[in-house]
C-alpha cells in the first residue's frame, strides 16, 4: 500500500503518464499596464532562412544534423571571406566589377531558423517548392518591373525605392517584414491604442492603430495602412492601401512583388522570453493564384538600434546617373 500511495502521488504531480508524458506549460507573456501581452523590445529576424527557398536546398525542412552541417559550412565560408586582402594582389581587369560590400558589412545569418521545432529553409508554408504562387499575369508584371529598375538609369525616379532611401530594400519594413542582407533589427513600442514598429533599415517607423479604422482607399502610404486588434495573446495586424511605389520589393534573388491592392495580415505572439512567433498571410489576387502564408521566429537582440543614416538623395545616386551618362556618350 505504501508503494501504491507513492505511485499515486507521483502521477498527480507529474501527470498520469509520468514526467515525460506531462503536458508542457504554455508560456505566459509579461503584461503591459493595460493587461495586454508585452511585445516591447528589440528583435531580429536575421537568419540563413529566406522567404524564397534557395536552389541549394531541395526541401522546405531539414533535419537537425543537416542544419548543423549547413551552419558549419557557413562558418567556414565566413572565416575564409574575412581573411585579410592580399596586399600584393594585382588590380582588377579594366572594366571589371571592383566589388562593393564584403562579408564584414553583411549580416545574413549563421544558421537556419528553427520554427515550431523545424529547421526551415523557407519561411513559406503550404508550398512544396518554397516559391511564391504567381499567376501568369503576376509573374509578367514582376519580371517587367524588375527588369526596368535593373536596366533604367534615366533619372532618380526610375531607381528602386531603397536606392533612393525612401523605404528599405527587400521588404525589410514590410509588411510582411522579411530579412535581408543586413540591418535586420526591429524595435517594438506599444501603448493601449498604438503599436509602433521601428525598422532599423532606413529608420522606417510603422504605426499600428489598435481597434482603429482604415483610411479611405485613395490614401496610400509607404508600408500601407495598418490596423491592429488583440485575439487572446496574439496581436493581429491587417494592412491595406499600399503605396504603388513599393510594389516591387527588390532584394537580389529574393525580390518579389505585391500590388497596391494586396491585403496582408500579420500575427505576433510572444512564445518565450526571447522569441516572438511572427506569422503572415498575403492575399493579392492581382498577382497570385492564391493567398500565401509564412511563419518566422523573431529573436531578442542585445543592445540598441542605432541610426541607419540613409536619406533621399543618396550620395551614390549622382554617381550612378553620371556613370550612365558617360556610358551613353561612349557608344
Percent of the chain with pLDDT over 70: 92
In 15-135, which residue ranges form alpha helices assigned H by DSSP?
A: 64-81
Provide the edge-to-edge strand list for the sheet that holds 61-62.
61-62, 118-120, 114-115
Domain boundaries, the chain: 42-80+107-300
Which residue bears the cell 518554397? 130
Kindly report the pTM of this predicted structure. Answer: 0.89
pLDDT band at residue 243 using 50, 70 and 90 as cut-offs: very high
Q: How far apart are CA 114 and CA 296, in angstroms?
A: 9
Q: Are the CB atoms for 53 and 129 separated by under 8 Å?
A: yes
Grouping H, G, I as helix, E, B as strand and the rest as coil, residue 137 is helix
pLDDT digits (tens, 9 = 90+) for 249-286: 999 999 999 999 999 999 999 999 999 999 999 999 99
Amino acid at each position: 500500500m505504501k508503494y501504491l500511495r507513492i505511485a499515486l502521488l507521483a502521477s498527480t504531480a507529474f501527470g498520469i503518464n509520468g514526467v515525460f508524458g506531462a503536458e508542457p506549460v504554455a508560456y505566459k507573456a509579461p503584461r503591459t499596464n493595460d493587461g495586454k501581452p508585452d511585445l516591447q523590445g528589440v528583435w531580429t529576424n536575421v537568419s540563413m532562412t529566406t522567404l524564397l527557398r534557395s536552389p541549394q536546398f531541395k526541401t522546405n525542412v531539414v533535419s537537425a544534423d543537416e542544419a548543423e552541417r549547413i551552419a558549419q559550412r557557413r562558418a567556414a565560408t565566413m572565416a575564409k571571406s574575412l581573411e585579410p586582402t592580399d596586399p600584393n594582389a594585382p588590380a582588377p581587369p579594366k572594366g571589371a566589377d571592383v566589388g562593393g560590400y564584403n562579408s564584414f558589412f553583411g549580416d545574413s545569418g549563421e544558421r537556419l531558423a528553427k520554427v515550431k521545432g523545424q529547421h526551415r529553409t523557407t519561411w513559406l508554408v503550404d508550398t512544396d517548392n518554397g516559391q511564391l504562387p504567381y499567376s501568369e499575369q503576376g509573374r509578367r508584371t514582376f519580371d517587367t518591373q524588375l527588369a526596368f529598375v535593373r536596366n533604367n538609369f534615366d533619372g532618380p525616379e526610375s531607381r528602386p525605392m531603397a536606392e533612393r532611401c525612401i523605404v528599405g530594400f527587400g521588404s525589410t519594413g514590410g509588411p510582411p517584414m522579411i530579412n535581408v542582407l543586413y540591418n535586420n533589427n526591429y524595435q517594438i513600442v506599444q501603448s493601449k491604442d498604438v503599436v509602433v514598429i521601428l525598422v532599423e533599415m532606413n529608420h522606417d517607423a510603422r504605426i499600428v492603430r489598435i481597434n482603429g479604422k482604415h483610411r479611405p482607399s485613395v490614401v496610400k502610404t509607404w508600408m500601407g495602412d495598418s490596423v491592429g486588434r488583440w485575439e487572446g495573446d496574439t496581436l493581429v495586424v491587417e494592412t491595406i492601401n499600399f503605396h504603388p511605389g513599393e510594389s516591387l520589393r527588390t532584394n537580389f534573388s529574393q525580390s518579389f512583388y505585391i500590388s497596391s491592392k494586396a491585403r496582408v495580415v500579420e500575427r505576433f505572439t510572444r512564445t518565450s522570453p526571447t522569441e516572438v512567433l511572427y506569422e503572415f498571410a498575403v492575399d493579392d489576387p492581382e498577382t497570385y493564384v492564391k493567398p500565401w502564408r509564412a511563419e518566422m521566429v523573431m529573436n531578442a537582440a542585445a543592445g540598441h538600434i542605432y541610426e541607419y543614416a540613409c536619406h533621399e538623395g543618396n550620395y551614390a545616386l549622382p554617381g550612378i546617373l553620371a556613370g550612365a551618362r558617360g556610358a551613353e556618350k561612349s557608344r
